[in-house]
Structure 1
Amino acid sequence: MYKKVERQALYVWIYSLKWRKKLQRYGTIYYTSPKMKYVMLYVNSSKAAEVKKELTAKKYVKRVALAHRKELDEHYVLKTNDNKEDSE
């Protein structure tokens, strides 16, 4: 049976885009920005800290940042004008 694996997004800024192929061995490349020279990489949540530490040690990597999407609340409540009419 299929088991859901939690993933974490990493933003990896690199000096040149020719190095993005090397990043494939660390996880799944989801997006590449040629203008800003960064790669959005998905890795397993359990190994995210190890991968971040390993990538920061590479010469071709400027910096690595974790995505904060998991920390955001994705449940939104729509505001309606009914509340204003009730209070008047």
Structure 2
Amino acid sequence: MYKKVERQAMYVWVYSMKWKKKLQRYGTIYYSSPKMKYVMLYVNSNRASEVRKELINKKYVKRVTMAHRKELDDHYVLKEKKTDELGD
């Protein structure tokens, strides 16, 4: 049976996009921006801090930031639209 694995997104800024292929060994590349020179990488949540430390020490990496999607509240509530009886 399928077991859900929690994943964490991280943004890795690099000096050159030629290093994109090296980043594949750390996780799944979801998106890359050649113009801004960053790669969006998904890694397992339990290894996220280890991978971040490893990437920071690489010469071709400018900086690494973690995505804040898990911190957002994913329960949305629609507000009822109030109608003005005097107007429309």
**Which amino acid letter does the alignment assign opposite residue 45 of structure 1?**
S
For these two proteins, the number of residue pairs brought into alignment is: 85
Structure 2: gaps (5+ residues): none
**Identical columns (%):** 78
Distance in structure 2 (CA, Å) of the matches to 1:54 and 1:11: 14
Tell me which residue corresponds to 2:28. 28
Instruction: Compute the TM-score of the two structures, normalised by the length of structure 1.
Output: 0.91
Tell me which residue corresponds to 1:52. 52
Instruction: Compute the TM-score of the two structures, normalised by the length of structure 2.
Output: 0.91
Structure 1: gaps (5+ residues): none
Task: Give the structure with the higher percent helix.
Answer: 1
Q: Does structure 1 residue 74 correspond to structure 2 residue 74?
A: yes
* 4+ aligned runs moved over 3 Å, structure 1: 82-85
Q: Deviations over 1:44-75 (max 9, x none)?
A: 00000000000000000000000000000111
